Chain A
């Protein structure tokens, strides 16, 4: 019982072949576009890799790159096949190629769906990675003399200025960390000694933030130090002041930036998936229709095209049997080999 049978007179075959040729070129260009999107996303993630704890999120751009490359190849072949399909002499040479081709195309379609799902589902992963990465970045902000960490200050400052954010969750993260290096603290000063003694770890904690947290839109010059002390500054109320430093945390800023990118890319890949399915379905119909033409005298006769020759369940059974046969010949040979020494002996 054939699946989705359609009659194909000669004219319809020609039209399908022409339409498919155009569509396959469109799909090739889209595949190249997806490839460049993957490269772009990877480079954006790489730029901020210093504040990310792990590189698991790179699975998304890697998948996009593979999808892009594979689709360019598959659609290129689709174009060649449909070009040859109008010439009955040249079409038969693609016969042996069709089964592995459709298997590869099915794999590509699956990979595309996986990419779309990943671009929405990996938000939690990204957030965790940024949480740990930013925590470390803020902790090592002061270590500008420790090799391997000396760039953290610069990275965090640039990040806070570019994304207009402050700290991990918000600016209060800076109150819990010593972000002034011991090299610049005067230990003979009483105030410094008091502060260091005031907490268990002996850290110099202040209610101040680095200059990169300052908001240029504030009408007054930036108040970075003694932020919670209203009496230290004239006409200043800590609880109502909103324009002084950036209120948003850098984790939230970065997550929203990257999720924006990945969601847009996910929508584009979904559209591309629809185009790709169109190409594959048309190609299957064209192939089955042409199979009917080969061997006939009148090449302009009407033939039938279908998706599957037998129903879905039967096709799956046959496929499993075929795969089983590939392993079975070894079994039969082994049995014969076992019985042969017996007869010989």
Chain B
């Protein structure tokens, strides 16, 4: 009992072949779009790789790039096949290849779907990487004289200014680390010595933030130092002040930025997946219709096309038996060889 049987006259077959030819070429273009989306995502992640702990969150963009390239290839071949299928004589060339082609494309569309879903699930890996990376970057903010870390101050400053954020979770992260290098601290000064002695690690901790945390929308000039000390500044209350420094943490700001990109990419890939699936369905119908024409013998006659010759359960059973028999034939050979020496 065939699944979704449709009758095809000769003109209908020709038209289907032509439409599928055009659709396959459009799919080549969507394959290129997939490739460029993957490339774009890779570049965006690379741009900020200094503040990521795990520099290799490249699984999603690599997947998209690979899928895009394979889609181009598959759809290019599909275009050629459909172009030749409008003429029943040329169909002979592709007869043996078409079924394996359809099966391969079917599994390939799974890869496209996986690519789309990965875009949405990358969030946790990214968050972890950003958390650890930012923690390291903040710790090494002061080390502008150590090779390999000397650029971190500039990176963090530019990041905080561009994404309008401060610190890892919030601006208080700056209170817990020493972000002023020892080179610029007068260790002979009593106040400095007091601060250094006041904590276990001997770090110079302050309730201040770097200038890049300053909020440009604040009506008053930025208060960076002695943030928690209300009496140090006129008409200032620390608890209610919200416009002085950026309140968002950089981890959250970056995560939102990347998730926005990923969601749009994921949505586009889902649409491309649906398109690929519909093209695949068309090609399957064309293949079954042309095969039935060959069986009937008359190239101009009407034929039927379907998705599966028998129902789902029967087809699954038949395929399972084929795979079992493949294994069985090896077994019989093995026993024969075993008996032979006697």
Interface residues of A (CB under 8 A from B): 144-145, 150, 153-154, 157-158, 161, 179-181, 183-186, 189, 210-212, 214, 216-217, 219-222, 224, 233-235
Contacts and interface: CB of A to CB of B under 8 A. Distances in A.
A155 to B, nearest CB: 9
Given A211-B222, A219-B153, A220-B183, 8 more contacts: A144-B219, A157-B216, A181-B219, A184-B220, A184-B221, A211-B224, A216-B158, A234-B185
Contacts of A189: 234
B220 A235 contact: no
Interface residues of B, number: 30
Contacts of A158: 216
B161 interface: yes
Contact of A161 (B161, B180, B185, B233): B161
A66 to B, nearest CB: 37
B145 interface: yes
A275 to B, nearest CB: 33
Given A161-B161, A217-B154, A221-B179, A235 B184 contact: yes
A212 B214 CA distance: 9
Interface-centre pick from B154, B180, B210, B216 (highest chain A CB count, 10 A) = B216
Nearest to A210: B221
Contacts of B235: 183-184, 186
Contact of B184 (A181, A216, A234): A234
B222 A184 contact: no
Main secondary structure of the interface of A (DSSP, over half): loop
Interface string B171-211: 00000000111011110010000000000000000000011
Contacts of B214: 211-212
8 contacts: A144-B220, A161-B216, A183-B220, A183-B235, A214-B212, A222-B211, A233-B184, A234-B185
A180 B221 contact: yes
A21 B214 CA distance: 59
Contacts of A161: 161, 216
A234 B184 CA distance: 6
Contact of A145 (B217, B219, B222, B224): B219
A153 B220 CA distance: 9
A165 to B, nearest CB: 15
A216 B212 CA distance: 8
Interface string B257-284: 0000000000000000000000000000
Interface string B221-244: 110100000000111000000000
B157 interface: yes
B144 interface: yes
A216 B153 CA distance: 7
Given A145-B219, A154-B217, A185-B234, A216 B161 contact: yes
